[in-house]
Amino acid sequence: MNTLASGWGLLAIILVCVATVAVGALGLRMSRTTSDFYVAGRVVTAGWNASAIGGEYLSAASFLGVAGIVYSLGTHMLWLPVGYTLGYLILLVLVAAPLRRSGAYTIPDFAEARLSSRRVRRIASVLVVGIGWLYLLPQFQGAGLALQTVTGASPAVGSLIVAVVVLVSVAAGGMRSITLVQAMQYWLKLAAISIPCFVLAWLWFRGGQPLPSLTDPGGPFAGALPAYPMREHPLYATYSTLLALCFGTMGLPHVLVRFYTNPDGPAARRTTVIVIALLGAFYLFPPVLGMLGRIYLPSLPAGTRADSVVLLLPSAVTPGTLGDLLSAILAGGAFAAFLSTASGLTVSVAGVIDQDLLSGAMNRRLGGDLPRTHSFRLASLVAILIPYAASWLAPGATLADTVGMAFAIAASTLGPLLILGVWWRRLSVTGAAAGLIVGGTLAMGATVATLFGVGRGTGGWIPVLLAQPAAWSMPIAFTTAVLVSLATPRSVPVNAARAMVRLHAPEEVTARVRPPAG
Amino acid sequence: MSSHNDISEERAARYIAVQNSQEFAELRKTFRKFVFPMTGLFLAWYFLYVILATYASDFMATKLFGNITVGLVLGLAQFATTFAITMIYARWADRVLDPAAAKLADHMERGNLQ
């Protein structure tokens, strides 16, 4: 890319970072008490909340990866953007309202409220932190790659920028500012992808170029994306990925937090409906960019990943200032995607580290004098530093693989815990713990084996099964939890009936059964 | 301390009364009868698309008009059905689920739980 183009790109990235910190600071001025700091004072409306969920969810994989996949594999791959929204549909119909009614702020809170067990809570906390870190890792790596594509800077610079901006806005603003920041990021990302998309589509229409050839999996585009896990046994790999997306979304650390900020179950439902509309609208654009790429970029420069097709397309369609400008807008949007997903994850991971790991230890040591916000800030630092360091230690893993594995682990552990917890009264403490441990061990084992390249290049079933574990690890986790629960009826918590009423009866009932506060 | 225990025992008893009431059981049954089949149905539809994309690529590449293929139309239909299912569920919840829940709440208030 030429100097002028990289100048525009750099400017867009700087603007996005400055806007993120500025809106974060605005939120800080508005958050006055500790409870505001944590849960946005519960004044967040459905529209804001839904924008925030969308902003947080649309990561780099969505912004760059989907277009790259449609570019290299054709419209066959339209199931992938739909799959990313599917998880919210499952979440909406199966658990949205009950989760809000549970009053849980994090998944460990839910585990404790439903099962009255500190042990299950502790296991869930470890899983939340692990999944969050695994999901944070590719955000740092992706930021490095994007900045490198746009400006030629070393990948280390991009990941450091994301780490610092996220740390500053999370530690300073807490939850309230993050809701504002995330909501803004959604609209920023939608504008950053839709405006260039409309301009490029109009130029294509006016230029009278032919329609792209849409389906040629064996054509020149195949293999342009070696990172994508659709290598062999594609049907198994696809089903496993879809299952992970469907049942993993609800178990992602940064999702449940947003349900607590809804005033009641029906509001949680309304929020989710808006989320699906917002995500669906966004996901219409990346496939269009991928298809335009097929016309204007019949081949990519050597050594370029298909993920960068979005950033290279504008200059191919219209070389010159307009192309540079559109590339810069897209680069800014991609950076917004890294920042928002990373902040959402950091808030959630830090919340769990603070609540379940740090506060207790620090209070014992300091006699409970430490203000709540201080330990949250310390937890934020820990939440960012470890995946940032890991992004240096494990540079070999590809972005799509790592994100897919975070979904697979969530679908094999926290997903079953939430579904069984909401729908099955006879879930026992021992059964829940066994399901989490078995599902977590299998899915994480497969992840570690894949990261270290077990069976790579052998071409058989083993690498495919390890790279996409959800299709077998999730059923095993469900079965374990059910069978162990049936075998240990005495460890069904005594207040299971009460917990089930709270989850499924409308708020008015629970409010009337509960004695007035204080 | 003892009065606190009395309150929490009374609370627990009332929760169990709700849990055991026929109305609450019916509320959950209504929900399950609508939601579980619907979940199964839309998952089947998505998985069918994936089977077609993987094994019937000739069929998916059939041109309807110009370069518009069956695969593209079905792919866009997936977006449309996601919206449609979401709207159907949301309207059902507003129309059926919430009134049933409100009735349960009302009966609890009057103490004539069925």
Q: CA of A59 to nearest chain B CA: how many angstroms apart? A: 19
**CB B66 to CB A89 under 8 A?**
no
pLDDT of A518 over the 60 cut? no
Q: What is the mean pLDDT of residues A155-165?
A: 85
Instruction: Answer whether A119's CB lies under 8 Å from A111's CB.
Output: no
Do A350 and A170 form a contact (C-beta atoms < 8 A)? yes
Interface contact B79-A283, CB threshold 8 A: yes
Distance CA A406, CA A440 (A): 11
Nearest to A215 among B42, B60, B108 (CB): B60
Nearest-angstrom CA–CA distance, A348 and B72: 38
Which residues of chain A does B47 touch, with a Cβ-Cβ cutoff of 8 Å? 239, 242
Q: Which of A76, A100, A209, A264 to probe the B interface (max B CBs under 10 A)?
A: A76
Give the closest of B24, B28, B90 to A269, CB-based: B90
| pLDDT attached to residue A430 | 95
CB contact under 8 A, B16 and A234: no
Q: Over chain A, what is the mean pLDDT? A: 79
pLDDT of residue A73 exceeding 50: yes
CATH of the domain spanning A3-87+121-412: 1.20.1740
Torsion of CA B68, B74, B76, B79, to 10 degrees: 180
Q: CB A214 to CB B71 under 8 A?
A: yes
Domain coordinates of chain A in residue numbers? 3-87+121-412
Mean pLDDT, range A27-34, rounded to an integer: 54
Q: Is A304 on the interface with B (CB under 8 A)?
A: no
**Mean pLDDT within A498-514:** 66
Q: What is the pLDDT of residue B8?
A: 58
- pLDDT over 80 at A58, yes or no: yes
**DSSP reduced 3-state for A11:** helix
CA pair distance A131, B35, nearest whole angstrom: 28
Q: Which residues contact A236 (CB under 8 A, 6 or more apart)?
A: A464, A465, A468, A471
What is the percent of chain A with per-residue pLDDT over 90, rounded to a whole number?
Answer: 18
Task: End-to-end CA distance of chain B: give it in Å, rounded.
Answer: 33
Query: What's the pLDDT at A282?
Result: 93
The confidence score (pLDDT) of residue B7 equals: 52
Q: Which two tokens stand for residue A105?
A: 């702020």
Mean pLDDT of A197-217: 72
- CB-based burial, A261-291: b 16+ in 10 Å, e otherwise: bbeebbbbbbbbbbbbbbbbebbebbbbbbb
Specify the pLDDT at position B55.
Answer: 76
Residue B7, both tokens:
């309150």
Chain A: nearest CA to B36, how far in angstroms?
8
Across A47-61, A143-157, A258-272, the highest mean pLDDT is recorded for: A47-61
Option in A85, A215, A242 nearest B69 (CB) = A215
Would the CB atoms of B105 and A277 count as touching at under 8 Å? no
- φ/ψ of B104, rounded to 5, equals -60, -45
Using CA atoms, how far apart are residues A152 and A164, in angstroms rounded to an integer? 20
Q: Contact A363/A370 with Cβ under 8 angstroms?
A: yes
The residue of chain A with its CA nearest to that of B83 is A277
**The pLDDT value given to residue A434:** 96
CA dist., res. A23 & res. A33, Å (int): 18
Q: Which two tokens stand for residue A273?
A: 């409906």
Q: Does residue B80 carry a pLDDT above 90?
A: no
Residue A484 has what pLDDT?
A: 95
User: How many Cβ pairs closer than 8 A exist between chain A and B?
Assistant: 145
Residue A478: the pLDDT is: 95
Lowest mean pLDDT among A410-414, A417-421, A439-443, B30-34: B30-34
Beta bridge partners of B69: B63
pLDDT recorded at residue B1: 39
3-state secondary structure (DSSP) of residue B34? helix
CB contact under 8 A, B11 and A89: no
What confidence score (pLDDT) does residue B24 get? 77
User: Of A263-277, A408-422, B52-66, which has the strongest mean pLDDT?
Assistant: A408-422
- State residue A71's pLDDT score: 82
Q: For A333-388, what is each residue's pLDDT tens digit?
A: 888 888 888 888 888 888 888 887 776 666 666 655 556 667 788 888 889 998 88
Q: Which residues are paired to B65 by β-bridges?
A: B68
Cα separation, A22 vs A18, whole angstroms: 6
* Contacting residues of A for B14, CB less than 8 Å apart: 513
Question: Which residues does chain B have within 8 Å of residue A514's beta carbon, measured at their own beta carbons?
Answer: 11
Q: What are the angstrom distances between the C-alpha of B91 and each of A55, A266, A275, B86, B97?
A: 26, 11, 16, 9, 9
Encoded amino acid at A110, one letter: F
Does the pLDDT at position B60 exceed 70?
A: yes
Instruction: State whether residue B68 is helix, strand or coil.
Output: strand
pLDDT over threshold 60, residue A40 = no
Contact B15 A79 (CB under 8 A): no
User: Helix (H) and strand (E) counts for chain A?
Assistant: 25, 0
Give bridge partners of residue B68 from the DSSP assignment: B65
DSSP label at B63? Answer: E
Q: What residues does each domain of chain B span?
A: 21-110
In this predicted model, what pLDDT tens digit does every residue of A208-245 receive, in sequence order? 666 665 544 444 444 333 333 445 677 788 888 888 98
Whether A420 shows a pLDDT value over 90: the answer reads yes
- Tell me the ipTM for this assembly: 0.78
A514 and B18 in contact by Cβ < 8 A? no
Backbone angles phi, psi at B69, to 5 degrees: -105, 165
Burial (CB count within 10 angstroms: exposed 0-12, middle 13-18, buried 19+), residue A147? buried
**pLDDT confidence tier of residue B22, bands split at 50, 70 and 90:** confident
Contact A513 B90 (CB under 8 A): no
Q: How far is A417 from chain B (nearest CA, A)?
A: 18
- Closest by CA to A417, choosing from A259, A241, A248, is A248
Take residue A319 and report the two structure tokens written for it: 């070389």
Q: Which of B18, B6, B31 has the alpha carbon at shortest distance from B108?
A: B18
Q: How far is the alpha carbon of A184 from chain B, nearest alpha carbon, in Å?
A: 23
Residue range A75-119, pLDDT digits in tens: 777 788 888 888 888 888 888 888 878 877 788 888 998 998 889
Per residue in A432-475, pLDDT (tens digit) is: 999 999 999 999 999 888 877 766 666 678 878 888 899 999 99
pLDDT at B100 over 50: yes
How many CA atoms does the CB half-sphere of A322 hold within 13 Å?
A: 10
Report, as an integer, the average pLDDT of A398-424: 87
Tokens 């298809």 belong to which residue? A291
